[in-house]
Chain A
Amino acid sequence: MLKPLAFSVAILAALTAGMALADPAAKPTDPQIAHIAYTAGQLDIEAAKQALDKSKNTDVRAFAEEMVRDHTAVNNQALALVKKLNVTPEDNPTSQALTKQAEATHQKLAGLSAQTFDKAYVDNEVAFHKAVNGALSTTLIPNAQNAELKSLLQTGLKLFQEHQQHAEHLAQQLS
């Protein structure tokens, strides 16, 4: 069984470790911030697709469909923005660590039965959104230089907060 707290700590570490390791004083640039935010959205879409493959629970499936729909909408807007600004999102250690962590989680969840999967998926959604909300609030939004990027990140934060709340309700139902 996965431990949501451990997962949350791992993501928090992933979100901050990359740049901290490179240079403790380094702040993420706009191209890096765009890449991290986009990656977080894509990873949540991938997790939702796994849920849609495995889960038979109506509420869990509805939540997963919402994750696909909402994060696709934000990421499409992010792509349009970086194109407009002529910015190329820049891969970075934080995005890489997030992706690596998500791949490990995907493997662990793949081995669970449908019933056990539901609780583990939703618990991890709570942890994931909580961790990304923290990173958006304390690192990504404060360091974003472009006003439009900052505004999109703020919309992303509101969305992630709503998703966290929805996931928390769902986790209570499944307990």
Chain B
Amino acid sequence: MTLVIHRLLLPAAMVFVVALGEASAGEAEVRTIVVKELAFSSASIELHVGDTVEWVNQDIFVHSATADNGSFDVELAPGAHGRAALKTPGVIAYHCRYHPGMKAELHVSE
């Protein structure tokens, strides 16, 4: 019986350790920005190279997340989400192609 329990617990314990290891190693993150009421939820957000930004469009309108420097252009249908991976450090200003008043920034560090 004891052996059976150990066999069951061991994989669970290993998964736990692996999960802790990933969290502590500062691995790349996926950061979510909600698009709602014709605005990006975070006007400015701190990120690292290797992170991914995911925009979630909760509006009834089509939007885009379009980098001013051309590094990404993500089309966002109503209810859809889209991602961009961040490969270089710096401040990336972006906007919605359809609604030019919608603007925000990503602050990407090494």
Contact = CB atoms under 8 A, between A and B. Distances in A.
Contacts, number: 35
A162 B101 contact: yes
Interface size class of B (residues with CB under 8 A): 10 to 19
A69 B61 contact: yes
A interface, by DSSP: helix, strand, loop or mixed? helix
Contacts of B101: 161-162, 165
Given A73-B60, A73-B61, A162 B38 contact: yes
B88 to A, nearest CB: 28
Interface size class of A (residues with CB under 8 A): 10 to 19
Interface of A: 66, 69-70, 73-74, 76-77, 155, 158-159, 161-163, 165-166, 169
29 contacts: A66-B62, A66-B98, A69-B62, A70-B61, A70-B62, A70-B98, A73-B78, A74-B60, A76-B60, A77-B60, A155-B37, A155-B38, A158-B37, A158-B38, A159-B38, A159-B99, A162-B38, A162-B98, A162-B99, A162-B100, A162-B101, A163-B99, A165-B99, A165-B100, A165-B101, A166-B98, A166-B99, A166-B100, A169-B100
